[in-house]
Structure 1
Amino acid sequence: MSVFSPASRFETLIYRHIRVIHVIKISLALLIAHLLNLLYPVPYLAWTSVTIVIIMLTLPQVGGALEKSIQRIIGTLFGAAYGILILYLTQDPWLSGLLALLAIAFITWRASGKMSYAYLVAGFTLMIVLDGGDQGMQEAIWRTATILLGCAIAILVSQCVLPLRARNEWRWLLAQSLRGMSHLWQSHLSPNVHKPLQTRGRIKQLQKTVQRQRGLLNSVRMESRSLRPYGKELEALVEVQERCLLLLELLAQSRWENSASAQAIQQQYAISVQARTLGERLTAFSRFCAGEQLELPEAASEDGLKLKQMMLSSLEQQQSHSLNAYGYGWLIYQTSLQITLLEKLIRGLAVSRNDP
C-alpha cells in the first residue's frame, strides 16, 4: 500500500475529534500512573506524572510521543550517570562543581542542534543529582526509574489507545496546501480577473499549513520505517511549497503596474490557459495525497516545456517589450518548475510502502 492510501474510517474519526481524544488519552495515562502509585508506592513517583504531561501535552501523535520519550530517556540516563559518577569519584565541592561546569558547557554548546531536548534533560537531571547531597545517588536512581516508567506509559497509551498517526496528519496537511495553491494559481490566471488579487490572508494560512508539515516530519520518520530513507525528500517537499507560495504571492501582485503593462500581459492569454493545466494537476495531486483518488495522476513532463516554448514565442512577438510582461512570464515559468518538482517529489514518495 502507498503512503497516500486512503485512511480508514477509524483513523479519520480520530483526526476529526483529536482534541477530545487527546484529553482522554492524557487523563488515562495519568490515571494509570496514580493507580500504580496506589498499588506499589515508590519514592519520587511524581516524576512519572510530570514525564507523562511533558511528553504528551503538545504531541498527540504516536511518532511525536515516541521521539520525545526517547530523548527524555537518553537525557535522563546520561545526566544521572554523570552525576552519580561525580558523587562516586569525589566529595570535594570545588572539584564536583568544576566537573559539573564542564558538562553544562558541553550541553549548552550542543543544545541548539539535534536532540536538543535530550541535552536539556541531561542538564537539569545532573543538577538535581548533585544538589541532592548525600541522598543524590539514591534520588538519581529512583528518579531515573520513575521517568522511565512515565515514558513507558506515555508510549503505551499513545500507541495503543486511539492512536493518531503523524503520517496521516502530514499528508492531509499536504493535500490542503496543494488544494489551496491550486485555487490561488487558477484564480490568478482566470481571464475574468481584472485587478490584483487580495491573497495575503490565504497565503499566510497556507504558510501555517506548510510550517505545520515541517513540525511533523520528525514524528513521521520516527513512526514510519518506510519513510525514514526519504528524509531529504520530505524536507524538500516543504521547501518547494514555501517557494511556490512566495512565487504565487509575487504573481498575484505583478499584473497591473500600469495600463500598458496590463495590456501586454493580457496578450499572453494562451500562456495563462496552458499554465492553468498545472493548477488542475495540483488539484489532482491533492486528491491523491488525501486518499480521495486511488490512482496517481499520470506524468505530464512536457507541460513545462510547452509552457516555456509558448512564453518565448509570445515574448518575441511582443512589440512593446514590456519589462512587466517579461517579469510576469518569468514568474509563471518559475512557478511551473516548482509545481513540476512538487509532482516529482510526491510521485517518489508514493512508491514507498506503509509499515505493516
Structure 2
Amino acid sequence: MPPPFCKGLHSVMMLPRLRDPYFNYRYRHQLHVLRVTVAISLTYTLLLIFNFPHAVWALLSALVVMNNLPYVGGVLDKGGQRLLGTLLGALWGILITLIPGTPHLVVAGWALLGIALATGITFTTRYVYSGLMFCVSLLVVVGDGQQDLSIALWRFFNVMLGTSVGIAVTALLLPQKATDVLRFLLAENLDTLARLYHTHTSASTSADIDTKQLVGEIGSRLIKQQGLMDSIERERRLRHEELEQILSLQWRMLSTVELLLNTLWNTRAGYERIKSLKGFRDQQHHLARALGTLAFQVRTGQNIDITVEPFDLQRHADAITSANTEEGRMLFSPGGYLWLNRELYRLSLELISQLGGIRRLPSRRLRRRAKRHKLIASQPVEYHNKSKGFDP
C-alpha cells in the first residue's frame, strides 16, 4: 500500500487532467451536476454568513441560470440577459415609485408602458429573456402600490448575487465549451459517415452494421449541434455563418449517403456496368478514408490537411452512356449512381475547405491531450470495424 504522501502527489498530478477537453466532454453530464451543486452550495454559504433578507431569490436565480445550460456560452448569454433585464426593470420601477405624490394609477400606467416597450423591443430579437426579466423585476418593485421599497431592493440584490455566482462557477469550475462539444459531435458524424460509405462499397461488411441505426445517430447529433448555436455564438469562436454552413454540409452529406445506401438496381446489367468501371471502387475507398482522416484531424485539433482524389465523371462517360439492357434500352441508373458519388465527393471537399478556413479550429491544447488518450497513434484507416477514435 503506497504511503499517504504518494497518494497526495498522485492527486496533485491528476489535477491538470481535470481541464482536459476530452475528460470534460466525456463526463459533461456529471460535471454539470457538480457545477450546479457547487453554485447552490456557495450561494447558500454566502447567505448564511451575511444573513441577507429574502435570500431565497439568490438561490432561485443561481439555479435558474444554470439548470439546463451546461455550457459557458449558454450561461453567459442567459445570465447576462438576466442581469441586464433585472437591472433595467428594477431601475424603471424605482424611478416611477420615487416620484413624490404620484397617484397609484399613474404608477401602474408607467409600469404598463415599460412592460409594453420591453415586450415590443425584444419580441423579434434574441433578448426575449431580458425583456421577460425586465417585466418581472418591474412588477416586483412596483407591486400593488403598497409594497415597502426596501423589500424590492433586497430581492433585486439577491437576484444579482445568485446570477453572478452561477456565471462565475460555470466559467471557472471545469468549464464546458459548446464549441468543443460541436467539435466532438462533428468528428463522430464524420467517422460514422465514413463507416457507412465504406459499408456501402464493401458488400462483405454490410451484414455487420445496422445502417439505419447509424443514420439515426448522425441525425440525432446534428440536432444537438443545432441546439448549441446560441451558446457557440456567445463564446465567439465561430461565426454564425460558419456554423450554419458546417451544419448544412453535414445534412446534405447524410442525405447523399442515405440515397447511396438505398440504391437498388432494376437490372443486373446496371450493377455489372458500375462494377466494371476501372478504379471506381478505389476512389470510393479513398473518399471513405479521407472522411475518417478529417474526423481524426478535427477531434485532435490538427491542421486540416487532406487531399481527396476527384471523382472524374468524364473518365467513365463512355462506359456509362453505352450501357444498355439486353433488350437494347439505355440504362440511366449507372449515371445517377455515379452522380451521387461525385456529389458526396464535392460536399466532402467543400466541408474540408470550410473547416480548413476556420482559424481557431487547430488546437495545441487538444493535440497535447490527444497523446495522453492515445488518439494520435490510433488514427482509423478502415471502417469495417468501429473506429478507434475518441469514443465518449
TM class, shorter-chain normalised? 0.7 to 0.9
Which stretch shows the higher mean deviation, 143-152 or 335-344? 143-152
> Percent identity over the alignment?
25
TM-score of the two chains, using structure 1 as the length reference: 0.82
Report 1 or 2 for greater relative contact order, CA contacts < 8 Å, sequence distance ≥ 6.
1
DSSP-derived class of the 1:135 partner: coil
Residue 179 in structure 1 maps to residue 221 in structure 2: no
> Deviation per CA, 1:138-184, whole angstroms, max 9, x where unpaired?
44433332122112211221122222232322211111111111111
> Deviation per CA, 1:39-88, whole angstroms, max 9, x where unpaired?
11223321211111112112222222222211111222233333334445
Identify the range of structure 1 (174-183 vs 98-107) with the bigger mean alpha-carbon deviation: 98-107
2:330 paired with 1:327: no
Please give the residue correspondences for 1:87-236 in structure 2 after superposition, counting only pairs within 5 Å: 87-88=97-98, 90-93=102-105, 96-97=108-109, 100=112, 103-104=115-116, 107=119, 110-111=122-123, 113-135=125-147, 137-192=149-204, 199-223=211-235, 225=236, 227-228=237-238, 230-236=239-245
Listed as ranges, the gaps of 5+ residues in structure 1 are 1-7
Q: Counterpart in 2 of 1:62?
A: 72
For 1:266 and 1:107, the matched residues in 2 are separated by 63
CA distance in 1 between counterparts of 2:303 and 2:293 reads: 10
Aligned equivalents of 2:140, 2:346: Cα separation in 1: 54
Distance 1:187 1:56 in 2: 42
Q: 1:255 is matched with which residue: 250, 255, 264?
A: 264
Deviates more, 1:264-273 or 1:61-70: 264-273
Within 2, Cα distance between the matches of 1:141 and 1:33? 18
For the 8 Å contact 1:33–1:150, the answer to whether it is kept is yes
Structure 2: which 5+ residue stretches go unaligned? 1-15, 366-392
Shift of 1:190: 2.2
Matched with 2:285 is 276
Match of 1:50 among 38, 43, 60: 60
Change (3 A) 1:159 1:109: closer
Bigger radius of gyration: 2
Q: Is the 8 A contact 1:255 1:262 kept in 2?
A: no
* Residue of structure 1 equivalent to 2:320: 315
Cα 1:132/1:340, change in 2 over 3 Å: farther
Q: 2:48 aligns with which of 30, 35, 38?
A: 38
Q: How big is each residue's C-alpha offset from its partner over 1:77-122, in whole Å with a ceiling of 9 and x where there is no partner? A: 2333333344456534377257526734752674454223223322
**Comparing both structures, which one devotes a greater share of its residues to helix?**
1
User: What is the DSSP-based 3-state SS (H/G/I as helix, E as strand, rest coil) of the residue aligned with 1:133?
Assistant: coil
Instruction: State the distance in 2 between where 1:260 and 1:137 align.
Output: 86
Distance 1:123 1:273, change over 3 A: farther
Go from structure 1 to structure 2 and tell me whether the alpha carbon gap of 1:187 and 1:41 turns closer, same or farther (over 3 Å shift): same
Secondary structure of the corresponding residue to residue 134 of structure 1? coil
2:303–2:362 Cα contact (<8 Å) kept: no
Q: Quickly say closer, same or farther: Cα 1:167–1:194, change in 2 above 3 A.
A: closer
Deviations along 1:23-43, one digit per CA (max 9) or x if unpaired, are 222111111111111111223
Q: 2:222 is paired with a residue of what secondary structure?
A: helix
Residues 215-253 of structure 1: CA deviation (Å, up to 9, x unaligned): 223323433x5x25x331122111111111122112211
Decide whether the 8 Å contact of 1:48 with 1:146 is kept in 2: yes
Give the CA deviation at 1:205. 1.1
1:293-312, aligned counterparts within 5 Å?
A: 294-300=302-308, 303-304=309-310, 306-312=311-317
Q: 1:298 to 1:41 in 2, by over 3 A?
A: same
Could you tell me whether the CA contact under 8 Å between 1:173 and 1:213 is conserved in 2? yes
Cα drift, residue 198 of structure 1: 5.7
Q: Residues of 1 paired with 2:284 and 2:225: CA distance?
A: 27
Aligned-residue offset at 1:191: 4.9
For residues 31 and 270 of structure 1, do their structure 2 counterparts lie closer, same or farther at Cα, with a shift above 3 Å needed? same
Are 1:62 and 1:164, in contact at CA under 8 Å, matched by a contact in 2? yes
CA contact (8 A) 1:73 1:151 kept: yes
Q: How many residues align?
A: 341
Matched, 1:337 2:342: no
Q: TM-score, normalised by structure 2?
A: 0.76
